[in-house]
Structure 1
Amino acid sequence: MANFDEWTRDVVIVGGCGRVGLPLGIALAARGLSVTLYDINQAAVDVVNSGTLPFDEDGAAEPLREAATTGRLKATTDPASVGTAENIIVIVGTPVDEHLNPNIGAVPQAIERCADHLRHGQLIILRSTVHPGVTALTERMLSRRGLRIDVAFCPERIAEGKAMTELFDLPQIVAARDDTAADRAEKVFRNLTGSIVRLQPEEAELAKLFTNTWRYIKFAAANQFWMMANDAGLDFERIRHAISFDYPRAADIPGPGFAAGPCLFKDTMQLAAFNKNNFVLGHSAMLINEGLPLYLVSRLESAYDLQNLTVGILGMSFKGGSDDPRESLSYKLRKILMLKAKETLCNDPYIADDRFLPLDEVLERADLLVIATPHPEYRDLATDKQVADLWGITGRGMRV
């Protein structure tokens, strides 16, 4: 074990300027730790070092400015930075490929980029959602390099936009092969929360995939229910209210809507791959959720002469109140409507995109409006145009 007096920083976060790594770095710095964010994106590094958030995250802007000003938080593209801290947290994207197979190499590759600067006695904490077995793969990779480094898997569990509360409020899963590594990882996260749950790495890897897949399946059930009610000419929101009103066993039934974003679909497919693609429930959820834009357009086609109408899509981010367009089904909806409608216009108050138009212009020019993302700005639309609102946020019902 290296002498802890040699470390000049408390934590280095690999992939630290992203939507998961940066809030974690800000939270740790807010608790007094010195944090370095190592990232290969020079533009993001420059923005963070200026004390500016590169994306929306409630409650993060002021603590970022303060931490950047005091030097407790700094960002760099220098891989040598990983040698400055006892604790290294790895947070990189773990996508599925075009064949829906998981990329098990994303985390090891991120570590390989800076492996020459790793030192004996460090602790590497994997925080990305990973395919089961990636923690063990990382352990073997470090062992082959002759590095005596502890490895832990401590998955992130935050909802985007709520990081600065949930990092402190939610229990943290800590998983490692032995007690020494687990104790060290727990020490890091006790800077944020006093609630720790211990697991073995493979248990924790599945726990994270199960969590996101469970949410994806619940959304698929709600979307299927909505389609059934909708096809029968009934308003699902009235039915859902009756089901859940003062009835605790149905209190968690979600409303319908696009189940999108960078995690739920991807992690469901990772779980399917882990189970040798024998996951009928998960694949059925994918067909329902990914097919929702097609279903919506087919309903519009049956009710309107789309080829002679201008359609306005309201909301392009993957969830309400967010500026994140990743894996948003609004873009799938846009592609379908571009084939079906005379013209397709888009608006999103949170995303800067030259293709998007101001809301007033979309409301004026469109013959038909589709609320694709339930942004609060769309709750009180001043329009007499027809509105397709499967979310039910306008109070006009959910029937399409």
Structure 2
Amino acid sequence: MRSSTDIGFSTDVCIVGGCGRVGLPLGIALASRGLRVTLYDINAAAVETVNAGTLPFDEAGAASVLAEAVAAGRLRASTDPASVASAEHLVVVVGTPVDEHLNPDLGAVPRALDRCAEHLRDGQLVVLRSTVYPGVTALTEKLLSSKGLAVDVAFCPERIAEGKAMTELFELPQIVAARTPQALQRAEKLFRNLTDQIVPLEPEEAELAKLFTNTWRYIKFATANQFWMMANDFGLDFARIRHAITFDYPRAADLPMPGFAAGPCLFKDTMQLAAFNRNNFVLGHSAMLINEGLPLYLVSRLESRFDLSSMSVGILGMAFKGGSDDPRESLAYKLRKILLLKARETLCTDPYISDERFTPLDEVLERADLLVIASPHPEYRDLTTDKPLVDMWGLTGQGVLV
């Protein structure tokens, strides 16, 4: 293969799916280090917003860096698949969902590449950034080879937490995996623009490493939620118990508080790992039953204390986590569906998400007979109300007994 330096690329990096919550922070971070970045995305509205120097979603510390990079001409967005041809490095960041039967969608990455395959060029480095089912890197290598393309392929999974991208992209070690020494070296060189800490693996090792990471977090949340339910069922406050076992005791320091374990990654990746192991994953499936069943459990507890059919219930926070404007896979919506059947009236509010179905917080506090904090937004920490308040997160410091 000819060296990429002999081919003449006008752009350093093109990110496929580049205007989303993973691709855009990466593009901004690379542009902030002086690289020339193109964001290829099929979402025309997001492309227009980014080219205006504006974030299409909230991401702490990213807005001013984006505006500067666009103004300086180091970053631009495009809906044109031909834009991939100008870049030495192609980074693929697309959603990799499970279907309605909880089976992985193996075609998400190949479909994204197919949309721009005719514009790919020999000498490029194709980096898969999405969390993928084990074997998708090898599938991508075969796909590109079948098209007669002499390109390098690497898998370098993102590991940032939403809302912390602009610090974690520079501080966290980067896993880099490739089949050949050349591809590994090129991928390492690319990500050393962001961090000096590189962890090399084989592609299949890296694919499992990412799934293990998200599944471990999901299982930890399920453990806390199961403990919380046990304590509740015996009339005990899990927050007091947790404080006792974590206080100056490092071996229990990572026990989280209870709460809705949701979002676009943890549940989905746990199911991908289960499918990989021939659905022989009792621990993962148990975690899914606990976490996904939490809204039903919560409503059951409320029914034992209140006559919901005569009450207006206010749901505070609809994002999948505190301080976020992202509603994807939020269990607050499952809670809403259940309460629509049980309560006289259900009101929803969120300080970060615009939705015509939502009600302003002041009005919810006035009209509701019962309040439930479904997302631990910091705005609710000092909430003043004389209404019954359910706070399974322990956000208000009043305990978590329901």
> Structure 2: how far apart are the matches of 1:288 and 1:5?
53
TM-score (norm 1): 0.99
1:95 matched to which residue of 2?
Answer: 97
| More displaced stretch, 120-129 vs 3-12 | 3-12
1: CA distance, partners of 2:8 / 2:151? 16
CA distance in 1: counterparts of 2:316 and 2:208, whole angstroms: 36
Q: Percent identity?
A: 78
Preserved contact between residue 370 and residue 389 of structure 1 (Cα < 8 Å): yes
Structure 2 distance, partners of 1:163, 1:203, is: 24
Question: Which letter maps to 1:256?
Answer: P
Aligned residue among 77, 83, 86 for 1:84: 86
RMSD of equivalent CA atoms:
0.6
Shift of 1:396: 1.6
Contact 1:174/1:185 (<8 A) preserved: yes
Q: Give unpaired runs (5+ residues) of structure 1.
A: none
Offset at residue 5 of structure 1 (A): 5.6
Say whether residues 1:108 and 2:110 are aligned partners. yes
Post-superposition CA distance 1:242-297 (Å, at most 9, x none): 00000010011100000000000000000000000000000000000000000000
> Which residue of structure 2 aligns with residue 45 of structure 1?
47
Residues 60-71 of structure 1: pairs in structure 2 closer than 5 A: 60-71=62-73
Partner of 1:386: 388
8 Å Cα contact 2:13-2:87 kept in structure 1: yes
Task: Tell me the SS of whatever aligns to 1:6.
Answer: coil
Pairwise CA distance, 1:4 = 4.1
**What are the equivalent positions in structure 2 for 1:285-296 lying under 5 Å apart?**
285-296=287-298
Q: Which residue of 2 aligns with 1:144?
A: 146
Contact residue 7 and residue 123 of structure 2 kept, 8 A = no
Q: Partners of 2:157 and 2:60 in 1: how far apart?
A: 21
Distance in 2 between the 1:385 and 1:4 partners?
70
Q: What is the match of residue 240 of structure 1?
A: 242
For 2:179, the equivalent position in structure 1 comes to 177
Instruction: Tell me, in whole angstroms, the C-alpha distance in 1 between the residues paired with 2:123 and 2:380.
Output: 53
Q: Which residue in the other structure is 1:124 paired with?
A: 126
Tell me if the contact between 1:123 and 1:181 (Cα under 8 Å) persists in the aligned partners: yes
Map Cα deviations across residues 99-125 of structure 1 (whole Å, 9 max, x no partner).
000001000110000000001111000
Structure 1 letter corresponding to 2:201: L
SS in 2 for 1:299: helix
Question: Is 2:193 aligned against 1:188?
Answer: no
Query: For residue 54 of structure 2, what is the amino acid of its counterpart?
Result: T
What SS does the corresponding residue of 1:261 show, helix, strand or coil? coil
Tell me the distance in 2 between the aligned counterparts of 1:354 and 1:361.
Answer: 14
- What does the per-residue CA deviation read over 1:42-99, in whole Å, with 9 as the maximum and x for residues that have no partner? 0000000000000000000000000011110000000001100110000000000000
Once the two structures are superposed, residues 210-238 of structure 1 have per-residue CA deviations (whole angstroms, 9 ceiling, x without a partner) of 00000000000000000000111000000
Q: Which amino acid aligns with 1:297?
A: V
Once residues 395 and 36 of structure 1 are traced to their aligned partners in structure 2, the CA distance between those partners, rounded to angstroms, is: 46
Corresponding residue for residue 315 of structure 2? 313
Partner of 1:398 in structure 2?
400
Is the Cα–Cα contact under 8 Å of residues 89 and 126 in structure 2 kept in the other structure?
yes
Partners in 1 of 2:223 and 2:6 — Cα distance? 51
**Matched residue, 2:353:** 351
Residue number among 310, 330, 333 corresponding to 1:331 in the alignment: 333
Question: Structure 2 length as normaliser, TM-score?
Answer: 0.99
Task: Quote how far apart the aligned CAs of 1:6 are.
Answer: 1.4
CA distance in 1: counterparts of 2:398 and 2:358, whole angstroms: 25
Paired letter, 1:166: E
Aligned match of 1:205: 207
Separation of aligned partners in 1, 2:219 and 2:5: 48
Q: Aligned pairs, how many?
A: 400
Q: Note closer, same or farther for the CA distance 1:294–1:54 as it changes in structure 2 (3 Å cut).
A: same
After TM superposition, give the deviation of residue 394 of structure 1 in Å.
Answer: 1.3
Q: Is the 8 A contact 2:239 2:394 kept in 1?
A: yes
Is the 1:4–1:86 Cα contact (8 Å) retained in structure 2?
Answer: no
User: C-alpha distance in 2, partners of 1:3/1:70?
Assistant: 24
**TM-aligned CA deviation for residue 380 of structure 1:** 1.2
- CA distance in structure 1 between the aligned counterparts of 2:168 and 2:181, rounded to whole angstroms: 26
- Partners in 2 of 1:163 and 1:362 — Cα distance? 33
- The aligned amino acid for 2:106 is I
Residue among 157, 160, 169 paired with 2:159: 157
Give unmatched runs, 5+ long, in structure 2.
Answer: none
Inter-partner Cα distance in structure 2 for 1:180 and 1:291: 47
